[in-house]
Structure 1
Amino acid sequence: MKKRSLTLLQKTFLAVLVVSIPLIIVFLYNYNKNTKYIKEDAIRDLANAESVYEGLIYQFLEKAENRVQDFSSDGYIKDEAQKILEGQKSSVKILSDYISKNKLTLDNAINTISIMSLDGKVLTSTNTSTIGNDFSSEEFFLRGKDGISAASSENGTSGLTEIVASAPLANISTGTPIGVIASFIHTSELNKVLEKTMTGEHDIEHGVLPLTEEKDDNIEVYLVNYNKRFIIKPVFVRDEVLNLKVDTLPVNKCIKSNEEFAGFYKNHRNVDVAGASVCLPQMKWVLLIEADTNNILAHTKEIGRNIAITAFIVAGIIAVLFTVFYEVVVKQIRKISVGAEKIAGGNYNITIPIESGDEIGMLSRSFNKMASDIDRRTTALEESEKNLNEAQQIAKLGSWDWDVVKNILYWSDEIYNILGLNKGEFTITYEAFINYVHPDDRELVKRTIHDALYNKKAYVVDYRILLRDGREKIVHGQGVVAFNDMDEPIRLLGTIQDITERKKMEMFQLELQRKYEELINSLNVGIFNVDVAGNILEINNACVSMAEAPSREELVKHNILDLLRDRNKFKEIVDRLSKGDIIRDEEIEFITLKGNKIWTSVSTILKKDKKGNTYLGGIIENITDKKAIEDQLKHSQKLEAVGILAGGIAHDFNNILSAIMNYGNLLLMKRGGDETTKKFAEQIVSASEKGASLTKGILAFTRKQVINPQVVDLNEIIERTEKILMRLINEDIEMNINLADRALNVNIDEVQIDQILMNLATNARDAMPNGGKITIGTSLYEINGEFIRTYGYGNPGSYAMISFADTGIGMDEETIKKIFEPFFTTKGLGKGTGLGLSISYGIIKQHNGFINVFSELGNGTEFNIYLPLTTQEAKERKPIEVITTISGSETLLLVEDNSLVRDTTRVILEEYGYKVIEAVDGEDAVQKFNKNKDNIKLIISDMIMPKKSGKEVYEEIKKISPDVKVIFVSGYTADQIKTKDISEDGISLLFKPITPNKLLKKVREVIDSPNNPKFGLKA
């Protein structure tokens, strides 16, 4: 039987009917729903109102706490409370009057203010009847000891329930607790605040607006304590009794479980109400706000009627709209739906008719365009897939897609080719794929896949696969993980590429590179590549070792300019190479990363890399030791030359000085009473002593003379030497002395330091032929690690520094390098020996000091001398010695080949009573001793003489008279005397020039000794 099809009108009517039935259901549902909403809104409104009252209560309590906190910070209250505790009874009334007058009047809500000791006893109060009461068990007291708080009390000052705000009192000096201050407030004050809000009165003081513009008599607000008694009665109910028990559901929930409640229940009058509660555990209160249920649901009937009318109207509109929608929309969409099904079936040539210009027509046009785009893109995709397969085949790279959840794996054709499989004979699974991985690499692949899926690490791995025929291939796997909304892995997509040939080539290249690097790094010679800006490109281990770098990576971070002693040297080399010069065995000084100086031999050429960039490639050899040996040899040769010269002139020079010194002393002896003669004679003696010191200085530099150090203040030396230096320089040269404002005690040979200053002054004078300025200064200087790294020498410690600067012509860098070398001079022929600064350098080194020089052409020169400070006290300067030695009458044999020395020595000895027999050489001495052997008590003999030496004379005379006593004197150095085997124990030896005082003392000492003592060598 054929089903009867309904007409469009019937369908429309049926649709309206169908729509109407739900409207009836909706009406009934909405009526109940609205009733429920009204109840919920009522509860919500009550809860909102309740939050306002809760805020008022907490605001009220906070105000009380702030007020009592202010009281507790009053220094006067603290001070008087401390006095009460200390037993001053008068302070009880004083403090009571003070808080009554100055604190109680600040807030009308406060009934009483009391101050308690730490044991809870009331010390004083605005209510004097409570003084002495014990509140130690009250919660407000216990809380107040620990901090600022508010609590409820039924045992307060008034006997009624009160709000008590309390705070600790601390000693004003030490800050230690001394008691508690509390303010007692009637709950009626809180009630007033709540009433103002309910009645619509604005309370600016509390900052709260009323709930409504008019009061609502249907709402009750009240507070109940944990004893279920009213704290504050309902605001608009005048006949409630405060001691009425409130045993309702919200109260019980707060008391038992501190649980707040909002809903419908029976109140304390057994009336159905909607209410909400707030638990105030701090105060042990429950805040309740309630409204009568009947009043809440009064508008329900009216709402129901309105809903019915609305539902009827809506149903009619729906019916009309449904009819229009069917005619205008549904029919058109059905046509589009048919066309869409055809497109989905793969017929992209379908065209949907466009019958209107509205949205339906736009939708039709969009479907037609979509069909055209899909047709075009499908063709392009097929072409792209074809190209992709060809590219994968060329690159030996296949793609795969693994559905982790369903364990479905897709491979592109190239993966089958890589594995040597036919597409139709292999079922693709994860497990099957793992079986083709080399057994030694399976765990690596599994772990990498697991880390990618569950640890979100990158899936990148190289591994081996094992083909069916036993061949191995190396493949590179790479992929990404897709996650769902739960952050769980659902797919792993990636590629596999056959890199077997590439790996073989890489291994071959790595092996070649390893052998090359082993060869390069085994060389003791450094190999380097540096670009023209000085950036280090490549180096071997020898370069790292030379530069004292911790690693090759660390050294590459530096520019070659950072290591060069002369930064301009690199530019010079680049310029020379650019001009075609050859750099071979170039000696260049470097500074290592540890600050040490090294000399290197560098050979380099210019090269270009593949990009056309120019760089320097070459080799470098550390020749520091070789350079040091060469320099040491040169220095030794120069020192030897100086030594030979010094030793050669020492004898004759010392003889001349001996004569000058003796004549000066004779003048002092003969004409010492004449001040002018005495002054000149002392200058002669002083000059001869300095001349002797000059000889010693030369010998000291060549290690042929010991120094005689004494602790002196360096400032005093500069002051005494100033006059001598002024005589050395020209009148057109200005000299300024800037001495430190403290003593600089140093252990030095004073005469030798004078010699240094004279050398520097002479050089400065010669450097300023047209006049200039010399500045000499002293200061305290600390040598530290930075100084040592900068100059390459020095020992940490405190030093006295002499700064000697001139404004002369200056020196260039090459001259500065050679300035301290023996025989090096910048002066013309015959104007300098080249020994002055060499001697100065040697003297300073013997004093464990240091010297450096700073100079530029045309800008003068400055020498800085560093001498170690000593903590010893400086010795007082001794005056020039005047002969005080006792005289004698013995007969002496004086053997001296120099007539001036012999004559002056004889005169001095005779002046003091000795009889002197003179001998001009060794043979003459032996003959005269034979003639006068019974009278001669002592022989004074030069060591080096013609015909017979002093030792030969002594040995021959000793055969005649074994007990003969002798004093040897010599102008040669002790080193020369030892070399000629002239020294012998048991004799006295004095070195020229000899002061008369020293000679006479030694003569007396030897004669008076019972035996010839072993004096050894004397300076």
Structure 2
Amino acid sequence: MKDKRNDPYKKSESTIIKQTGKLKKQAQQTRCRKNRETTKKMPASDIEKLIHELQTHQIELEMQNNELLKVQQEIEESRIKYVDLYDFAPIGYVTLDPRGIIVEANLTLCNLLGIERKHLMNKPFPLFIANEFKILLLNHVQKVLSANTKQRCELMLLKKNGTPFSVSIESIAMHDSKRGFLCQSAISDITDRKQIEEELRQIMSSISDYLWSAEINEKSQFTYHYYSPVVEKITGRPPEFYMKGPEHWLNTIHSDDRDRLSNVFKKITTGQLDHTEEEYRITLPDGEIRWVRDSVLAKKTGNKTIRLHGVASDITERKQVEAALQKSEASLVRAQQIAHLGNYEWDIVKDSVYWSHENYHIFGVCPKESIVTYNTFLERIHPDDKEFVRKSIHEALYEKKPYSINYRIVLPDGTERTIHSEGEVIFDDSGRPIKMDGINQDITEKVLLEKESERSKHLASLGELAASIAHEINNPITGLINCTQILINKSPEGSKEKDLAKRIMKEGDRIAKIVHNLLSFARPTCKENKEIVHVNEILSDTLVLIGTQLRKDGIKVRLDIPQRLPEIVANKHLIQQVFLNAIHNARYALNQKYSSTHENKILEILGEEIMLDNWPYVKITFYDHGTGIPVKIRNKVIESFFTTKPRGEGTGLGLSISYSIVKDHGGKLMVDSIEGKFTKLSIILPAKSRL
């Protein structure tokens, strides 16, 4: 209900009518008094005329009075409506003087406070404000009156029972004819809004990402509108830091990422990008580095402004996991490389195969150039082993037998490798094979070591036998040669006896040489002390010894030995023996293929420094385009007493002895050959720094 008793504007209609009637009566009395004084001196005709005029004026006054009453009634009705609107407005209204005293207040404000209007009027408004906001209210009033512009603030009011609630106050200055300038304020209850804001703040604080928004106006001026509180948790800096401008954000970015992000920022601000997702590092105030993923959406509006909305996430943990995973993968790749072991996954239904990087390397396939299938795998299998592999896989797929086999593969350059393969087949509910996972390991070196071990045992046995035979033969042959020399000395020149003696001497020397080779084979460590030598020097001396024979056979020698090859520690004479044997074998192969001179009758001798197991080695390769070595006997060429030469032209000890000498020097002897095309004999010796 309206509180009419305390309405400062309320004046009843009857009061106005009484005042109007009183004025009318006073006017009539004055008029009558003046008429009596005047009519005493006037003639009757003039009096009659005057009476008529007065009656006319009376009618006009009555009409004006009625109009005035009508206007006053309309004004009163408007005033009543204003009072209703003022009192029952949805927001509270209060008028304060410069000291903060309440001059006027509507019923809405009274209801907000729970206090009757009579207890508010002429009271200091700060009495109804929470203590911490009293000064704020007084400053607000002074600012309104001094600035003469609308001002806004938020504070806490107190209900009659002391319960605080949040309000928003908007005020303007107004002038009152009696009181001067006053502060007229509109008060809105924002308790619900504040509660929603607090709930939203808690929600925003609880999520792991922070949100931000900004705007670029038509003058390319950049303004941040919002940063959620989580930004401080992620970046170590509060929202206020970033609200200062984009340069503050750029300064937090890691120096290695700053230029890239600066370019992206320019593209967004110029409208070249409407969305992007960037990952970059930031530096926290304490120097810690964190990774952030920032997703940005840019939207142009009709007034040529660009509104930006972003969501940023802390992806440091993900990056650390990725780095650990990459390190793990790199370690796995390295481990597979060291072990020469690759893994595969075969989707049998789709016939698609996944190979690890090392698996590609093992099979000599380029990952970027080939799509691996089951047939790709079969194409690499050695012809003699292909059917065995097919059968083994078939038994694993359809008979559920274990799959663990060894087989040979042939690489594109003709090199053979031995592979150990294992696999596990996965079946569906019906028992149909759908997938096969497994590993392939290059065990070529292992197989060679096993063969070498067997060969070493065999050589040891043969060495003991050879030493025994050599000793048994050496003494008699020495006596035979000595006796033959006596016969040669005593026989006349040109005699048949002397000729026979020389023949005996020649064959005796050949037997002595064989015995010497047998002893070298039996005791390769019985040699002169090793010394620091240069391979070039040994090779030059070797070519001097055999150069005449090579030229006589029409064999051209091409040397490619760098002068800066590292020195080696070796027995010069034994290594020369190895080189001589290699050249003799190449010479024999070239002469077998080319009986006379030919443009391809060439022996290439190549030298290079290589690294094996992170150690330096010197590699000398003797490369001829002769008859080559058949595949079937390629692995036998370094076996003792094995030779491809006709009877009487070789003992089969040359490469065996060379192999033993090189091994004794801590090196390797390797043979690579294709029948009818070429043979490469590589002698690998440790460099001086290795020993």
With the length of structure 1 as denominator, give the TM-score of the two structures: 0.28
